[in-house]
A and B are shown apart, each in its own frame.
Chain A
Amino acid sequence: MRKLKVAAALGLAAVGVAALGLATAAFAQGASERVRKINLYTWPQAALPQSYQASQLIAQQWRQLGLDVEVKPLQRQAQTQLIWFSRDKWDATMWRMVGRPERSDPDEFLYSLYHSSYAEKGYNFIGYINPEYDKLAEKQRTQLDRDERRKTAFAMQEIINRDQPQAFLVHPKYPLAFNKAVFKEDTVVNQSGIGIRNIWTFLKIEPLGAQKDLIINSNETINATNPLYIGGAVDSWVTDLIWDRVMRIGPDGMPQPWAAESVSWADDKTVDVKLRAGMKWHDGKPVTVEDVIFSFEAPAGDKAPMYKPFVTDIAKIEKTGDLGLRFTLKQPNTTFLTASLAKINLIPKHIWEPVLKDLAGKPETAEQLKEVSWIGSGPFKMVRWKPTEEILLERNGEHFAAPKIERWIMRIVPNAEATLGMLKRGELNFIGIFGGDPEVLVKFAKENPDIAIRSEVDIGFEYVAFNNRRPPFDDVAFRRALSLAIDRRLMVSAAWQDYAIPANSHVSPVLTFWHDPAVDQLKTGIAEAKKILKDAGYRVVGGKLYYPVGKQEKLTTE
């Protein structure tokens, strides 16, 4: 009812203003077109309260520029359908990129988000096309010299800051918690940009007393525990622990040798790896060079589509000794260590070769194979898995980095209230993700001195994506103005309740080496935004925003 009334009032107002606008416009320097209504898509409040709140605040600020803005919450499916699969049909949407250990190398965001080759189908769904940027994106991949590559990364961040193809809002800060009466506090490891929920913590955390199990929560079901398939966000928490990799992203965000004693570049297309001696699969058989080669060749076919992109750059792999092997790449690729060596799970050839042979010629891929085998060589072994309840791993005492805890148990707890209740009762002693209001968790820890909180700024970020293909967002001035109109401090305080820091770069400030501090100085404010629009020829007549003279568009807001 209220909506109807508002709509009616708006309608009346629109008629009035339109009449006024027409009259004034006729007196002004020739006719120009009014900027049409902008739909700002967002998630329903129930799904992501912070983003929803942010979209409401942003709409308020944009309206001050003379724009008509409607906030439209869409369920996930509908939003994906529109934003991802109908790329020319929308104007602006709330969006987020999440942090993952392998995103500690800035390449994934630097390249995929804005490279024109990804505009039609990939991550560049906003349709940002800039040949200058493309060149730099390709260049940084070939730069083995870190300092040189850093310069390129800075240049790229500055281009994005100048063009504002979207408005970055914040890098969220996720508070996580553990019980310090159960675990020695200083054995918990913070991974930069990820937080304390990481493999380094699970390896090094030390129990203080009789409770030797780490019990962590997850708010979603684990979809797959398959070394060749990731079905959901939490799946990798488990696969990380069961299967080793040649390298791992360290707590500092840099790849370090893991199942290898050394990894080195022979030249810009050749990587030499020397494996660790004495590694064993969980079934007791030794880990061999053949196993490692097999692990990288297996996804190259069409049986593990999810991992295939990480091995397509490999031209060949040769055995160079009992523990040595050499990767030759098709082209220089500095991200190979992070994107391939630290990504591909090592799997036993004696188990998977027959399985993949059996699949040959069939439409199924290895992704559909459930529970073929949980034999890895990692620091934990799978004991049992009940998808809707819990997953239980136990320590692999023979591992070169054997964990201190006896068992690693993940409980599926979809709601935040229950999560806190369980933490209180000791049914959980580690919060790996918290779906509720972060403030409540922090307050809870204050009242329960056994609970310790750690928060870390995320590698990922939240932003408003602009559709660069469509007017008015095809105009840099317009995009800049809309971005500057958003008060980032308000975003942090009123939407993310201070559990975030303002963002203006696709490289998070936690990646201290790669983040360009120069772009942090984004001066926001309605006045500034209005000035940009005015300078670009936009006019405000009767409170409504008009295009510069001559600019026309035939689009309609859907």
Chain B
Amino acid sequence: MAERAEPVLPVRTGWPLLAVLRRMAAMPLRDPFAFTGLLIYVLFVLVALFADQLAPTDPLEILFTKAGKLAANVPPSLDFPLGTTNLGRDIYAQLVHGTRSALAVGLSAAIIVAIVGTVVGLVAGYFGGMVDAVLMRIADMALSLPFLPFVIVLTGFLGASTSNIVLAVALLLWPNSARVIRSQVLTLRERAYVEAARVTGASSWRILFVHIAPNILPLSFVYAAIAIGWAIITEASVSFLGFGDSESVSWGYMLQDAFSSQALSRGQYAWFVPPGVCIILVVVAGFFISRGYEEVFMPRLRGR
């Protein structure tokens, strides 16, 4: 039914965990999208790891000129590749150090979403009945909360900390992955090899985690990759609206600062363009990767 040049490995038999992992690792080499995505990720992870070496200036340090005046709105130069803000901070240093907070937000949200979504999806799909009904109602509930407004209200009132933002994002994103994983589990549990395992007397939990779970790992991965992007954009939006964590430098914080300090009117493109581009790159990398994996593992999910 699906037209595609590459052969698709159908989800027909139970794969051992190792095989799945090996396949997942090899996949980017065959899909240019996923390869580009991974390349972008690797690049940003490197920047985050070596941020102190790449930009030795503290991003929040107030800089002064040799004459003792505030080094405000310095145009891009060798010392300050992207110039300084109107309150004398090094924009390049903020951009580089912002990578850390972006990855921290993105990865922690992604991990929570992947774990919660996977476990809920597995349990609901496999056990069915009341458990399933209750879990899916909770998922519906979470899905009927308006996304950004909820995050704003939560951080606006509970306090503007990065962990609150991550929490809010994770709270709203797990149901998507749980739902899809559940439906996948529903088909998997009827498969012959699962049946076989059941007949040989394997316990439910063993079947669930040893025979079924590895097969939905790629799915968890896809949703985690998407969650990274969502979390980063959400953090940026919330920071932009002024509800962000004012002690951690993130790209959203930079954009908020630039907008309220009127970098636009001043024509300081070097201040407000790079953080936006970085956000796009990281988020799009997530899309690319998830797309690449979908093409290979779940042809029917493309484009969703």
Contact with A along B46-75 (1 / 0, CB 8 A): 000000000000001010100001101000
Q: From residue 392 to 420 of chain A, which have CB atoms closer than 8 A to chain B?
A: 415-417, 420
- Nearest neighbor of A74 in chain B, beta-carbon distance: B159
We find that the number of chain B residues with CB closer than 8 angstroms to chain A is 31
B104 within 8 A of A: yes
Partner of B160, one of A57, A75, A443, A444: A75
A-side contacts of B266, CB under 8 Å: 440, 443
A415 to chain B, nearest CB (A): 7
Partner of B62, one of A47, A53, A73, A77: A53
Partner of A493, one of B60, B69, B157: B69
B265 within 8 A of A: yes
B159 touches A75 (CB 8 A): yes
B204 within 8 A of A: no
B160 touches A494 (CB 8 A): no
B-side contacts of A417, CB under 8 Å: 259, 262, 264-265
A499 to chain B, nearest CB (A): 12
- Nearest neighbor of A439 in chain B, beta-carbon distance: B86
A-side contacts of B88, CB under 8 Å: 494
B-side contacts of A75, CB under 8 Å: 156, 159-160
A-side contacts of B64, CB under 8 Å: 494
A436 within 8 A of B: yes
Decide yes or no: A494 and B62 within 8 Å by CB, A3-B247, A46-B256, A75-B159 being known contacts.
yes
A49 touches B264 (CB 8 A): no
Contact with A along B248-277 (1 / 0, CB 8 A): 100000001101111011100000000000
CA distance A78 to B261 in the complex (A): 24
B179 within 8 A of A: no
A-side contacts of B265, CB under 8 Å: 417, 420, 436, 440, 444
B76 within 8 A of A: no
B183 within 8 A of A: no
A78 touches B62 (CB 8 A): no
B246 within 8 A of A: yes
Contact with B along A24-63 (1 / 0, CB 8 A): 0000000000000000000011110100110011001000
Contact with A along B79-104 (1 / 0, CB 8 A): 00000001110000000010010001
A-side contacts of B159, CB under 8 Å: 75, 78
CA distance A444 to B244 in the complex (A): 30
B242 within 8 A of A: yes
Q: From residue 125 to 140 of chain B, which have CB atoms closer than 8 A to chain A?
A: none
A386 to chain B, nearest CB (A): 23
Inter-chain residue pair count (beta carbon < 8 A) = 71
Contact with A along B169-189 (1 / 0, CB 8 A): 000000000000000000000
B264 to chain A, nearest CB (A): 5
B100 touches A2 (CB 8 A): yes
B4 to chain A, nearest CB (A): 42
A437 within 8 A of B: yes
A1 touches B104 (CB 8 A): yes
A512 within 8 A of B: no
Decide yes or no: A46 and B70 within 8 Å by CB, A52-B246, A437-B86, A440-B265 being known contacts.
no
Interface of A is mostly: helix
B-side contacts of A56, CB under 8 Å: 60, 62
B-side contacts of A497, CB under 8 Å: 70, 72, 86
CA distance A75 to B244 in the complex (A): 10
Contact with B along A241-284 (1 / 0, CB 8 A): 00000000000000000000000000000000000000000000
- Nearest neighbor of B248 in chain A, beta-carbon distance: A3
CA distance A49 to B88 in the complex (A): 12
A44 touches B160 (CB 8 A): yes
B-side contacts of A439, CB under 8 Å: 86
B86 touches A73 (CB 8 A): no
A1 touches B100 (CB 8 A): yes
CA distance A435 to B264 in the complex (A): 15
CA distance A45 to B253 in the complex (A): 10
B262 touches A436 (CB 8 A): yes
CA distance A417 to B264 in the complex (A): 7
- Nearest neighbor of A57 in chain B, beta-carbon distance: B62
A416 to chain B, nearest CB (A): 6
Output the residue of B70, B72, B159, B244 with the most chain A CB within 10 A: B70
A436 touches B70 (CB 8 A): no
Output the residue of A46, A49, A73, A435 with the most chain B CB within 10 A: A46
B97 to chain A, nearest CB (A): 7
A-side contacts of B260, CB under 8 Å: 46, 49, 415-416, 435-436
CA distance A444 to B267 in the complex (A): 12
- Nearest neighbor of B88 in chain A, beta-carbon distance: A494
Contact with A along B132-162 (1 / 0, CB 8 A): 0000000000000000000000001101100
CA distance A437 to B271 in the complex (A): 15
A418 to chain B, nearest CB (A): 10
CA distance A493 to B71 in the complex (A): 11
CA distance A52 to B88 in the complex (A): 13
Output the residue of B64, B88, B257, B261 with the most chain A CB within 10 A: B261
A49 touches B261 (CB 8 A): yes
Decide yes or no: A415 and B259 within 8 Å by CB, A1-B100, A3-B248, A57-B62 being known contacts.
yes
CA distance A41 to B277 in the complex (A): 34
Partner of A45, one of B70, B104, B257: B257
B-side contacts of A444, CB under 8 Å: 265
B-side contacts of A493, CB under 8 Å: 69-70
CA distance A345 to B156 in the complex (A): 36
- Nearest neighbor of B48 in chain A, beta-carbon distance: A1
A46 touches B242 (CB 8 A): yes
CA distance A440 to B259 in the complex (A): 12
CA distance A175 to B200 in the complex (A): 83
A-side contacts of B257, CB under 8 Å: 45-46, 49
Q: From residue 234 to 249 of chain B, which have CB atoms closer than 8 A to chain A?
A: 239, 242, 244, 246-248
B244 touches A46 (CB 8 A): yes
Contact with A along B4-22 (1 / 0, CB 8 A): 0000000000000000000
CA distance A283 to B139 in the complex (A): 59
A70 to chain B, nearest CB (A): 10
CA distance A451 to B253 in the complex (A): 32
CA distance A437 to B264 in the complex (A): 12
A494 touches B100 (CB 8 A): no
Given contacts A73-B247, A497-B70, 11 further A-B contacts (CB under 8 A): A1-B104, A44-B160, A46-B242, A46-B256, A53-B87, A56-B60, A416-B260, A417-B262, A417-B265, A436-B262, A439-B86
Chain B residues proximal to chain A, CB less than 8 Å: 60, 62, 64, 69-70, 72, 86-88, 97, 100, 104, 156-157, 159-160, 239, 242, 244, 246-248, 256-257, 259-262, 264-266
18 intermolecular pairs with C-beta atoms under 8 Å apart = A2-B97, A2-B100, A44-B242, A46-B239, A46-B244, A46-B246, A46-B256, A47-B242, A56-B60, A60-B62, A75-B159, A415-B260, A417-B265, A439-B86, A440-B265, A440-B266, A497-B70, A497-B86
> What are the 4 closest A-B residue pairs judged by CB atoms, nearest first?
A44-B246, A494-B70, A46-B242, A440-B262
